[in-house]
Chain A
Amino acid sequence: MPEITGFSFPNDIHVTWSLMIVMYPYITGFVAGSFIVTSLYHLFDRQEFKPVARLAMATSFAFLLVASLPLQLHLGQPQRGPFVIITPNFTSAMAGFGILYSFYLLVLVLELWFVWRQEIIDRARRSRGMVRAFYAALALGTYDTSPEAIEIDHKAIKILAGIGLPAACMLHGYVGFIFGAIKANPWWSTPLMPVIFLLSAAVSGIALLILIYQLFARIDRRPVVATCVSALASWLWFFLILTITLEELELIVMAYEKSESWLIISELLTTRLSFSYVTMQMIVGGLIPFILLAVVVLMNRYLHERVRNTLATIAAFLTLIQVFSMRWNIVIGGQLLSKSLRGLRSPYEPEIFGREGVLMAIALFVAPFVILWIFDRVLGIEEPEGAGGHGSPPAGQASAGTPAVTHVP
């Protein structure tokens, strides 16, 4: 039995939303975050992101395939999960999620198909037998790689990216909405919640790409493009500043208003969440990477490439911890607090084994990387040599007739 300080409503002492519900926004965040990066290239023509554009799209896809699993694992009646689509109740934010998820999955799969179509056709032409049949089926039986067809592909990619970006943002904004729209819980109920979730999704997506871009480059023995890492680092810095500002503003407003819930929330933060909030979310995951990234961005010119990459890597790793802590503090923290606003329960400790345990959470985090590996084997994440090369826009892109957008947000 958990220990209670103060008074909790007797049913409020159970943590109904477990570690899986922490993993769910964490993983969905990578989906949205990496899609934002790929859109910076595909939609806004930021050439510095070209080296990671395909990787980012594949990452978004890999995490998306896993994104609904934590929810599914959490359900008391997992076999009834499809009811969310079969008999959706549209006043529920969660029913909306099921439909948004399916919609985004559709858009992303279509975009992937257009981006990788040439690659699929090449592989179909190169292989024989069953393998050939597989790629031929993936190509839907048409091998048209004429410049006109490629031109059509680029237009389709542009359109899909244009739909995909708002869809990805909605998908993750909705995750924040699931919490932000619960008026019963003062620690969740704020219109800032979807915004904070969205911004921290961008943080986690960019941070993850800094890590896996360098990791994959090292595995494939390819050079790491310096401009790409420093561009990612500066965008990471930008989003980190926004995220932490909003996270703090939310608290400052609550404290300054002396809202009825502030008493219990301040106690929550200073006792139950002092490690995960103050130490991890604010200092280790917030302040330190902020300083490291400030060095990378402001002193870019003076830094040796290796120093810059190392600093960016450390900062990216720490911000991943920041985002995880933020999810934890929202999801778990919100349940340590009773709706009586008079009591806190003792900290929640997830089980190790079992459906909603720590090992499952780790498996969920690792699974997208396995999917990425399979993706790389089947379709090849990196563009094959000679199909454009780093830094220069591909032929189709340049002639697509869309003016390059250089200033984003």
Chain B
Amino acid sequence: MEHGKHVFRIVILVVVILTVVLLARGFLVPKTYGLYGRYRGANVGEQMNIRPVMHGGAAACADCHGDQAAKRTAGAHKNVSCEICHGPLGAHVKADGTVVKPPIDRSFTLCARCHRKVAARPAKFPQVDLDQHVNGPVEGKVCLQCHDPHSPKP
């Protein structure tokens, strides 16, 4: 193959390029890639602490607000988590311990989200037909004038 010199050279060139690419690749693969599977293993741990826990649950609220909690758990709203109406605990008690007053939503829309009569709600669930409520239509009126959200009665 005295005339195949150029073929030999190009083959060497290709092998060199491939080797360089493969070697370079080796340096670029993240350290924990492949630790548990075809992904960066360290990410699992990162995901566990990806952001602070915002919702503490009703029990966490009861630590400070025992009286409200006792009242609520005795009534019809016993399963309604505090954070549904007052927002997440994480926005109320910050990570550094500072306390921010949570919003107190007294609006009609808050109550209507659960209790306005909508066909798709389970029939047993207490719902209000706004056109025929007590003294006629009540759209937009403040429910809290008559109902106590921590211990509501029909």
A and B part of one assembly = yes
- Residue ranges of A at the interface with B (Cβ–Cβ < 8 Å): 82, 85-87, 89-90, 106, 110, 113, 117, 139-142, 144, 146, 148-149, 151-152, 156
Q: Digit string of B1-24 for contact with A (CB within 8 Å is 1, else 0)?
A: 011111101100110000000000
CA distance A148 to B14 in the complex (A): 23
B104 at the interface (CB under 8 A from A): no
B29 at the interface (CB under 8 A from A): yes
Given A86-B25, A86-B29, are A152 and B3 neighbors across the interface (CB < 8 Å)? yes
B133 at the interface (CB under 8 A from A): no
- In the complex, which of the residues A82, A86, A87, A142 contacts B6, with contact meaning CB atoms closer than 8 Å? A142
B10 engages A86 (CB within 8 Å) = no
Given A149-B3, A152-B3, A152-B4, are A89 and B10 neighbors across the interface (CB < 8 Å)? no
- Report the minimum CB–CB distance from A136 to chain B (whole Å): 12
- The residue in chain A whose Cβ has the minimal distance to the Cβ of B2 is A148
Residues in chain A near residue B9, CB distance under 8 A: 140-142
B13 engages A140 (CB within 8 Å) = yes
A-B contact pairs, 18 of them (CB 8 A): A82-B28, A86-B28, A87-B30, A89-B38, A90-B38, A106-B14, A110-B10, A140-B9, A140-B13, A142-B5, A144-B5, A148-B2, A148-B3, A149-B3, A149-B4, A152-B3, A152-B4, A152-B7
Residues in chain A near residue B5, CB distance under 8 A: 142, 144
Residues in chain B near residue A82, CB distance under 8 A: 28
The 6 closest A-B pairs by CB, nearest first: A148-B3, A149-B3, A140-B9, A142-B6, A86-B28, A142-B5
CA distance A148 to B4 in the complex (A): 9
Give residues 32-79 of B contacting A (CB, 8 Å). Answer: 33, 38, 40
- In the complex, which of the residues A85, A87, A113, A146 contacts B10, with contact meaning CB atoms closer than 8 Å? A113
Residues in chain A near residue B4, CB distance under 8 A: 149, 152
B25 engages A146 (CB within 8 Å) = no
B25 engages A85 (CB within 8 Å) = yes
Residues in chain B near residue A148, CB distance under 8 A: 2-3
A110 engages B14 (CB within 8 Å) = yes
CA distance A113 to B14 in the complex (A): 12
Residues in chain A near residue B40, CB distance under 8 A: 87
CA distance A152 to B1 in the complex (A): 9
CA distance A90 to B37 in the complex (A): 12
| A86, A89, A106, A148: most-surrounded residue (chain B CB, <10 A) | A86
A140 engages B14 (CB within 8 Å) = no
Residues in chain A near residue B14, CB distance under 8 A: 106, 110
CA distance A144 to B5 in the complex (A): 8
- The residue in chain A whose Cβ has the minimal distance to the Cβ of B24 is A86
Residues in chain A near residue B2, CB distance under 8 A: 148
Residues in chain A near residue B25, CB distance under 8 A: 85-86
